[in-house]
Structure 1
Amino acid sequence: MKARLWLVDLNTELLLGKEVVYLWCISENGERILLVDDSVENFFFAISENILPEEAIKSSFPELKKHGVLRMEVCDKRLLGKPIKAVKIVVDKSENIERVVGRLNRLKTFQKIYEDDIRLSTRYLIEKRITPSSWIEVEAEESPNLPSIPNFKAFKVKSIEPLEFSSIPKLRVMAVHILKVGEKGSPKPEYDPVVAISILTSEGESKQFTYDGKSDKKLIDDFINYIKSYDPDIILGYGITEDWNYLIERSKRVNSLLEVGRNYAKPHTSVFGHVSITGRLCIDLYHDARDNPQLTEYTLDEYARSLGLRVDPQIPEYKYYEYLSDPSKKEMLLKQSEECAKLIYRIWNIMGDFIIQLSQLTGLPMDHVLTASSGHRAEYYLIREAYSIGELIPPRTEKPYVPYAGGLVLQPKKGVYENVSILDFSSMYPNIMLKYNISPDTYVPSEESCENCFISPESGHRFRRDYEGVYTRMLQKLLNARKEIREKLKSVEEESIEYRILDARQKVLKVLANTLYGYAGWIGARWYLREVAESVAEWGRYTIRKAMEKAEQLGLKIIYGDTDSIFVIDGDKLEELMKWIEEELGMEVRIDKIYRRILFTEAKKRYGGLLEDGSLEVVGLEVVRGDWAEIAKETQLGVLKIMLETMNTDKAISYVRNIIADTRSGKVDVEKLVIWKRLTKPPEAYEVRAPHVLAALELIRRGWRVDIGDKVGYVILKGTSRIGERAKPYQLVEKADIDYEYYVRNQIVPSALRILEVFGVDEQTLLKEPRRGLMLFGTE
């Protein structure tokens, strides 16, 4: 058989005592195909610094052969750009590699070990030059002893090649929302059954399995059977990693066999933290939300809104039990679960192409690519690039953190400014690395001579000009590919599938290129070198300063700068400045945003702005932080909106005074007074008894289940003791006991003053009683 197939996922298995790779694929006509490849080899590299590699092999092979080494051979490799002779050591099984390395360390024949920590599935992809979520061309044959998988045809691989083919086959996608409810605190699988599982498939079928009031066994079994009958390629959820762990524990307690893998395997947590289901992809969109700096609560509805989706108000999790136990409200809760499954699928329609392209380019399967940090994604791409030029892949080692100066952040000038443009240098760092050939393998240590080197502007670190570094090679490839795609997009119909896929790919290329600077400064990186990150930061500061100097020469006023952007009051010379930056500094720059008005406090990275479309953007202020009561956030957002839209101080003062009056008179809902804080360790492990910790301990004393990771909501009550001792769990609070004056003076007024003090308003002004008959928002 010769066929074009799309690789969904892969895993390694033992077949007849030999390690093989399973490739789960989809054919061009939609057939599900399992490929089995037994040609894969386990190997790593070793370097001998004292004797010739041939002699090292001769002296060590007889001993290593006893521990599973099949053969050893000398290879020409590169180590940080320099040619070197390395010994390739081929081992019979993955599980024996650690034992062989341990034996090598005792023999002391070799001094350095490389690539012993590369997993077999990763090695296979690199060796075959293929990636998940991509097309491959395969020659395969039928063979005895291949596994029998329902709905799949199995073949043995004879040859396999990557294919450049941009289409995506029709995937069977199943969006899942699992409703769990705890009577006292967060739901725990030891006590609390699953209430409902809601499903929406890519064919539009909607299903919901519900708890019968006695046991969740039938619900779980129905869910398992549905997976087997629908046979999804992708199981999609939000927080589904935690959900699967919950289901694993529940299935044990009700004796359900959670055999949902395509080979009937049970789900398990992989070494990378995601839940692995053999032959299927389990994609947790929560991990994408966690990477979004604009989010504060990381709820499904907040994430959906950040992607531009309209979402109805959600029942908060802390009210789930109230709704579940009230027959008149229960259906509302179950309906919300159904709507959540639909919302998850709508998010997939927006994010799916991006996730697929991210998987293709990094070489990580879709279920892993979202759980991986941005540094790991960049590293997987680098590993493939390094392999292509024969560069040995460094091991991950513990390295001391040595601080260095980062990007340039200016102290803002407090006040309100109009017509402010943000000049974005977001591609600055990749361009700097390219321009000055900054890479670990081009760095020249101080003890070595270099006649023709780039020299960093502050520390004097040197980088070779005559050799293309691994970072440089990666960046050039990414940026060239993006340039080609963007050119191609000009001739492709915007509504077409091809446009959608190409646009997603160019976005991923940009993300990966911009990630490399952060990766260079990450001490967990295989290729970490402080001098590299330090030099890029130095050239970045140099670039921003030069741009600022030129702006001032042109008469433009700069009011703020943050790492890779500067805030400029718009003027006639803005285009001239941008042209100069591109021509003289060799950096791309673009107008990222234009604010009609923007307000700065005295602190760095804290401002709020009114964009051209009338929307508000808030950075660093209380309104976007999770540790303030909702009443404080509401107040600050309202004040900011009034001041940026109208610049009417009286109107803002009146607005705050009315909130204060409503609060003092007890008209504000208790929910708006709750302060939420997440436990980062078990409550009893805290030495400092902060308010949320004391509230958690009280809940435990009253029989609630509270543990690490749970969010604790508390309200401050009246009294004379210190604040922490007056913090009570919101579930146990009577409205008459609330210390409303605390909220006025410690939540509402401080959050409002963060904005209004810029206009000379003080605390006493806000605390004055509103005049009788004054309208809610004052007068214009």
Structure 2
Amino acid sequence: MPFTFDFLDDGRVLEWETTADGAVATEREDYSPRFYVASRAPDADIDLTRLRSVYERHPDVVATKIVARRPGFRRDDEDTLAVDVVHIDRVIPLARQARQLSDYPVGDLACFNVDFSREFRYCLETGVDPTPASELSTLHLSIPVTETNSETNAELGVNGKTVTGSPVDLLAAVQDAIDTLDPDVLVCSTSEIISTLYAMARTAGVDGFTLSRWPDVDYQQLAGQSTFSSYGRVGHSPARYNVPGRAIIDESNTFFYGETNLDGIFDLVSRSKKPAQELAWASIGNVLTAIQICEAHDRGVLVPWNSWRHEFYKPMGTLHDADRGGFIFAPEVGLHEDVHELDFSSLYPNIICMWNVSPDVIRCDCHSDREDVPSLGYSICDEQGYLVDVLQPIIDARDDIKADIHREQQRDNLDQDRLDELEGRSAALKWILVACFGYQGFSNAKFGRIECHEAINAFAREILLTAKQRLEAGGWRVVHGIVDSIWVTPDPDVSDDERESLETLASEITDTVEIRLEYEAEYEWVAFVPQRESDAGALTKYFGKVTGKDEFKIRGIEARQRSTPEFIEDVQRDCLEILGQTQSPDAVISRLERAISELHAGDVDSDRLVERNRVSKPVEAYTQYTQNVAALERARDQDLAVHPGQDVEYVVVDDEKASRERVALAHEETDQYDPSYYETQLVRAVESIISPLGWDRSDIRRRLAKTRTTKITSF
């Protein structure tokens, strides 16, 4: 089966398949991409004959015809204009021309199957399975951060080996690796390596350098770099490139390769029909959408270019009840002993499948007299929704994979490669299941619907309340609960003889709600952290010591935050160990004192004090002189490109300065740092550890001051 596809300027498509003798290409000259035009609404009047006559005269249109298709899951077959075009790059421009004819003279029309990625479109329309038939070979290429904006590199990583020298030397090393390994996949630290290598070859006059498997095309640029905003966060998408015959994975622009591995990627390739190169740069929502589009395609349903689903009318009281979100039982701040965690297995996906919560069947007209969704009164059709067909195979597959992981871990002769494969596939499927709920409320979702989002939450609240009540009746006290997890500890007012076992209760709750409640873990103790400026518990900040293991579960505190320097993380983890052994704030503060002494003595390697922060805007757009601004100015001085949405790494050298000397970039060799600044960061990290015991920052500072005074007066 082909694993990657190339689209040549003359319209030919190359299907690349691995064989025992290397990859071979099959040329296809008869492929014509297709999009559709139909009425925007079922009762809209649209003149497809006139529109067809316009397209038939267009030089980029191969053929047109009127076909029966469903313009939506809630619509039956309708006359639809299918437009076959000469090249995949002409789909969107031709669809824009249809928009210009909307209302007059054609009518209120809409375009469908327009904005698909090119390789995915090809596989969907031709029925080709892009899952690799055999293991793909890889070659890793990387460049240091100091040369990411350079037209000529002096250093390059080739399969883990650092190569230095002239451009000719670097090009020779890369060409030798290409010729020797003949890789199917190029894993690049940034895809800009592709264009940079070719630019170096032109400048150095090196003839014959090529990464391509096709003699007539060296590489193609598929998209330029861009900055975007999603859910209040700024992101950066680098330029994307294509090398004929090889899939490219850009490590600076991939979620699934970073969170899983190639096995996880290939599992999703088989489910989404997105080839490896496209799946590597795709977001979770993008892959979920592709799987949904495959299901829609099988049902003869077209995919809207832009979603225009209206929200169903509902009374004010229903709006209020529907907007309550998921289940939350505020944590009891403090350190709790003998704590047990229970989780519902894939709660939201299972709710979708158990109660048939799908955009095409929620609040159906045929059962409008029913109230199937608790507290909201929404009806759900008896006909199975498409979302169930999308998610149930994924739920079942992940359950099977998790069972295989458990069996593999119990084997005497552990097969680590097999375990890595299973864990990669499990992680990939987990992310799809995690996203499926929130995606229903996403305004740009192709098939989402806000009523599904509301219904899922309503079912989840009922399930968690049922579990809470049964656990309390069985002699357990709930100390925290959020979304799909509950933490309990023995109720001191109930004797051991009267208290029911958690295994029995979990089994009974599972039978009642028909979704498996799993016993996740037992903790010697768990500490729930208060909010910074409040005594109320922070919902997602806690840590605990796992019973019988030298292991802590940590959520939300500095050791789990991507910006935290290594030194701060290490000290905080040491403090966790000390707290677990002594449960003494004084012992924790003693560790803090030693760390502060190391800082002020200059004994901490600056490499362990690197912070990593995301840049939200260009340097000129900042109104205050932050550390990020200082770092961006230093990067600009060194001709290093850092775009909004990308990370910048630096050491704080003097936090009192309002100039670029405030920080040093991570790659700059410096042994200087601001000990007072990092002392403040240490105090914050230690506050997270002992705040459940009633200590705040001012208490820590007073104890530190008292200790320092004692040490001075002792002389």
TM-score interval (norm. to shorter) = 0.7 to 0.9
Deviation of 1:263 after TM superposition, in Å, equals: 0.9
Question: In structure 1, what is the equivalent of residue 518 of structure 2?
Answer: 590
* CA distance 1:685–1:564, shift in 2 (3 Å): same
Deviation at 1:667, TM superposition (A): 4.1
Aligned residue for 1:730, secondary structure, equals strand
Secondary structure in 1 matching 2:186? strand
**Which position in structure 2 is the counterpart of 1:59?**
50
User: Which stretch of structure 1 is more off in the superposition, 665-674 or 254-263?
Assistant: 665-674
User: Is this contact kept in 1: 2:619–2:629, CA < 8 A?
Assistant: yes
| 8 Å Cα contact 2:156/2:162 also seen in 1 | yes
Q: Which amino acid aligns with 1:517?
A: F
Q: Is the 8 A contact 1:520 1:529 kept in 2?
A: yes
Amino acid at match of 1:759: L
The Cα of 1:452 is off from its aligned counterpart by 5.9
For the structure 1 residues 425 and 628, does the alpha-carbon distance in structure 2 shift closer, same or farther, using more than 3 Å as the test?
same
**2:408 aligned with 1:457:** no
Alpha-carbon offset, residue 441 of structure 1 = 1.0
Distance 1:647 1:249, change over 3 A: farther
- Could you tell me how far apart the structure 2 residues matched to 1:754 and 1:222 are? 50
What is the CA–CA distance in structure 1 between the aligned matches of 2:430 and 2:68, rounded to whole Å? 35
SS in 2 for 1:689: coil
2:294 is equivalent to residue 356 of structure 1:
no
Cα deviation, 1:718-748, whole Å, max 9, x if unaligned, reads 8xxx675697223799989x6644543x222
In structure 1, the gaps of 5 or more residues are: 1-5, 135-167, 201-207, 293-302, 308-349, 775-780
Of residues 175, 178, 187, the one that matches 1:236 is 187
| Inter-partner Cα distance in structure 1 for 2:681 and 2:419 | 49
The partner residue of 1:10 within 2, 5, 19 is: 5
1:260: how far off?
1.1
Structure 1 counterpart of 2:545? 610
Alpha-carbon distance in structure 1 between the residues aligned to 2:705 and 2:348: 49
**Distance in 2 separating the partners of 1:251 and 1:558:** 66
| Counterpart for residue 160 of structure 1 | none
Instruction: Look up the match of 1:575.
Output: 503
Deviations 1:661-710 (A, max 9, x none): 34344444445555553433332331222133135436756x67564346
> Is 1:476 matched up with 2:392?
yes
Aligned equivalents of 1:498, 1:641: Cα separation in 2: 33
Q: TM-score, normalised by structure 2?
A: 0.80
**Do the aligned partners of 1:657 and 1:767 also contact (CA within 8 Å) in 2?**
no
Partner of 1:178: 142
1:15-30 equivalences under 5 Å are 15=10, 19-27=11-19, 29-30=20-21
Going from structure 1 to structure 2, the CA distance change for 1:268 and 1:574 (only over 3 Å counts) comes to farther
Contact 1:595 1:611 in 2 (8 A): yes
For the pair 1:35 / 2:26, whether they are aligned, the reply is: yes
Matched, 1:599 2:527: yes
Trace 1:200-599 onto structure 2 (pairs within 5 A). 208=161, 210-212=163-165, 215-237=166-188, 239-244=189-194, 246-247=196-197, 250-251=200-201, 253-256=203-206, 259-264=210-215, 265-271=217-223, 274-285=240-251, 290=255, 351-397=261-307, 404-444=323-363, 448=365, 450-451=367-368, 453=370, 455-465=372-382, 467-480=383-396, 495=415, 508-509=428-429, 511-569=431-489, 572-599=500-527
User: Residue 573 and residue 114 in structure 1: after superposition, are their counterparts in 2 closer, same or farther (change >3 A)?
Assistant: same
Q: After superposition, where does 1:716-731 map in structure 2 within 5 Å?
A: 717=654, 728-730=662-664
CA contact (8 A) 1:444 1:463 kept: yes
Q: Superposition pairs for residues 729-748 of structure 1, below 5 Å?
A: 729-730=663-664, 740-744=675-679, 746-748=680-682
Residues 1:766 and 2:704 are matched in the alignment: yes
Write the distance in 1 (CA, Å) between the matches of 2:612 and 2:404: 49
Cα distance in 2 for partners of 1:244, 1:196 equals 12
In structure 2, do the counterparts of structure 1 residues 754 and 531 end up closer, same or farther at CA, with 3 Å as the change threshold? Answer: same
Q: CA offsets, 1:621-640, max 9 Å, x none? A: 12232445554433322212
Shift of 1:386: 0.9
- Structure 1 residue identity aligned to 2:652: V
Say if 1:637 and 1:428 are closer, same or farther in 2 by CA, change over 3 A: same
Secondary structure (helix, strand or coil) at the match of 2:327 reads coil
Q: In structure 1, which of residues 82, 88, 113 is the aligned counterpart of residue 75 of structure 2?
A: 82
Is the alpha carbon distance of 1:368 and 1:706 closer, same or farther for their aligned partners in structure 2, counting shifts above 3 Å?
closer
**8 Å contact kept, 2:175–2:211:** yes
Please say if residues 717 and 726 of structure 1, whose CA atoms lie closer than 8 Å, have aligned partners that are also in contact. no
Question: One-letter code of the match for 1:587?
Answer: I
Q: Deviations over 1:179-208 (max 9, x none)?
A: 4363xxx65314x623133226xxxxxxx5
Structure 2 counterpart of 1:10, one-letter code: F
The amino acid that maps onto 1:768 is: K
Contact 2:256 2:428 in 1 (8 A): no
RMSD of aligned alpha carbons: 4.0
* 8 Å Cα contact 1:699/1:729 also seen in 2: no
1:552 match: secondary structure:
helix
The code of the aligned residue for 2:125 comes to E
Q: Deviations over 1:743-778 (max 9, x none)?
A: 43x22223212222333442212333369999xxxx
The offset of 1:583, in angstroms, is 0.7
Query: Which of the residues 131, 134, 151 maps onto 1:133?
Result: 131
Q: Which amino acid in 2 is paired with 1:172?
A: S
Cα distance in 1 between the residues matched to 2:601 and 2:162 = 45
Distance change >3 Å, CA 646–CA 267, structure 1 → 2: farther
CA contact (8 A) 1:228 1:260 kept: no
CA distance in 2, matches of 1:573, 1:406: 31
Does residue 755 of structure 1 match 2:689?
yes
Distance 1:772 1:481, change over 3 A: closer
**TM-score between the two structures when normalised by the length of structure 1:** 0.74
- Counterparts of 2:424 and 2:306, CA distance in 1: 31
1:244–1:435: structure 2 CA closer, same or farther, 3 Å change rule?
same
Residues 187 and 285 of structure 1: is their aligned pair in 2 closer, same or farther, counting only changes over 3 Å?
Answer: closer
Give the structure 1 partner of residue 149 of structure 2.
Answer: 188
Q: Does the 8 Å contact 2:631/2:648 carry over to 1?
A: no
Residues of 2 paired with 1:735 and 1:58: CA distance? 75
Note the residue ranges of structure 2 that are not aligned, 5 or more in a row: 224-236, 312-318, 491-498, 531-537
SS of the aligned residue for 1:82 comes to coil
Aligned to 1:3: none
Q: Is the contact between residue 595 and residue 610 of structure 1 (CA under 8 Å) also seen in structure 2?
A: yes
SS in 1 for 2:18: strand
8 Å Cα contact 2:477-2:488 kept in structure 1? yes
Question: Quick one: which amino acid aligns to residue 211 of structure 2?
Answer: V
**Residues 574-625 of structure 1, C-alpha deviations (whole Å, 9 max, x = no match):** 1122112211111122123332322211122111222242123321112232
Equivalent in the alignment of 1:149: none
Aligned residues: 652
1:341 is matched with none
**CA distance 1:658–1:508, change in 2 (3 Å):** closer
